[in-house]
Amino acid sequence: MTGLGGLNPSPGGMVLGLVQAAVPIVSEPADLAAAVDRITGTVMGARRALPVPDLLVFPEYSLHGLDPSSWLDDRLLCDVEGPEVAKLRATCAEAQIWGCFSIMERNPGRAPYNTGLVIDDSGELRLHYRKLHPWVPAEPWHPGDLGIPVCDGPAGSRLALIICHDGMLPEAAREAAYRGANVILRTAGYTYPIRQAWRVTNQANAFCNLAYTASVCLAGPDGAGIHSQGEAMICDIDGTILERGDGAPGRIVTAEVVPARADEARRSWGVENNIYQLGHRGYSAVEGGATDCPYTFMQDLVAGRYRLPWEAEVRHTDGTGAGLGTPADVRAAAGRFASSTDG
């Protein structure tokens, strides 16, 4: 039930607005400032035109764009305490609406972070997440170091954010749910070749974790004729698609979720309560279920010895194939950009 895209909210419902933002073209600081203004303008416009959304979600790269030649330019990076984020916070407070935003975060001495922020309706920063799994080999971002945080959100929601490629690894959504998230946000900049994988992983992440998933990509051309897909999606806790957008840049796709439904399912479902049953195997035959870890990959990852049977044959193990060079080359490039702006 979506209440006509949230136009008729239910008691206990949270209305999401997923913004299929157009791909910005950002190569100079003035472009970055203009992108901030477009986003804040969208927030204020959405509040006037769509009075019901509790949370607006903007895609990954909606502030910085998709031009890899600009990604390591220190002039175009942001700080969580910087002026761009301050403007986003002030706008959420003025509009009295929650917002989820994407920045490329300065990381002195190393490659930048690909960062997501959730800001509440009083302008307070409630969630700061750094993308755990950059889309290698094409992305030069430093892997995140904050885990997957969870925060309280509107209408009894517990929010987590994963970014783009994170959602292709079931472990990321599972970690969000394990930490209590009942609404998992996913922001991305994917283009059309990823469309099918985008759909099935959004649905699977919902069903496997009894969580709502709300996901949105950039939309439209990037200046070089490559189109991002838009394709906002809100999935119910059983994986059913509640609402799905198209490729139209600027469209805001809205839907209602009821976080208490996810909470109740996690407590009352028997069959397919997968997130509980993972740690309580076979509880019909074993009191409390088996609580050991039978999965070799988990054991090896924790022990620092994760290694695939075909590890030695993997062809892409750094960014060379995507034109980024080695990790040392990426760090050096980030350092050159930073030093060239030191006045």
Active-site residue list: 60, 131, 164
| Cα–Cα distances in angstroms (integers) from residue 213 to residues 160, 216, 234, in the given order | 10, 10, 6
Q: Which amino acid is located at 159 in the chain?
A: L
Strand order in the sheet with 183-188: 150-152, 158-163, 183-188, 212-217, 233-235, 241-244
With contact defined as beta carbons under 8 Å apart, do 158 and 151 qualify? yes
Q: Which amino acid is located at 273 in the chain?
A: N
Question: Distance from CA of residue 7 to its chain's centroid?
Answer: 25
Strand order in the sheet with 14-19: 125-130, 113-119, 98-105, 55-57, 14-19, 252-257
Buried b / exposed e across 233-271, counting CB within 10 Å, b at 16+? bbbbbebeebbbbebebebbbbbbbbbbbbbebbeebee
Integer Cα distance of 293 and 299 in angstroms: 7
| Cα–Cα distances in angstroms (integers) from residue 8 to residues 4, 95, 328, in the given order | 6, 20, 54
DSSP for 97-125 reads -EEEEEEEE--TTSPPEEEEEEE-TTS-E
Integer Cα distance of 255 and 55 in angstroms: 11
Cis peptide before 140 (omega within 30 of 0): no
Radius of gyration of the chain (CA): 20
Residue with tokens 């709502």: 212
